[in-house]
Structures are given as C-alpha cells and as structure tokens.
Amino acid sequence: MQRLRVADVCALGNRQFVFVIECGEERHLIGAWANGIRHLSRLPSNVEEEPFEEQLAAELKSGEEGEDEA
C-alpha cells in the first residue's frame, strides 16, 4: 500500500493552504480552504522539470482566467 505524504505546504492566509502531496512516485498540488479542498494539478515527478513556484503561478493564472469567463 502506498502512503500519502505532505511534501510541502504554503499558507495563503484566511485559512487557505496549498499542499504538495506525494503518493509513491506521484506528486499532486492540492488547495484547501475552510469550505473544501480541490485537486489543482499533477506535478512533475522530477522537480527539475518545472519548479514548484512556476507550477503554482501557472495554476493560479489559469484559475483566474476561468473565473473571468464565468
């Protein structure tokens, strides 16, 4: 059985967090706030492929674009 592990966490304020969760060789970006959680994206297995900060910025930008369309 593979175990989940919190590899990194970033507090965004107002009870909002972003987590990097590892399960075996997979890494996932998860957002959490007072009313729920959301899978944001699968992250590259090799950190050198794309730094976490760049992946987070891309996810935040895509979320803002999606809100503008609604």
For residue 4, what are the contacts with CB-CB under 8 A and spacing of at least 6? Answer: 21, 22, 23
- Model pTM? 0.62
Each residue's pLDDT expressed in tens, for the chain with a length of 70 residues: 778 999 999 999 999 999 999 998 899 999 999 999 999 999 887 655 567 788 788 888 887 776 555 5
Residue 64: per-residue pLDDT: 73
Q: What is the DSSP secondary structure assignment for residue 10, as one 8-state letter?
A: E
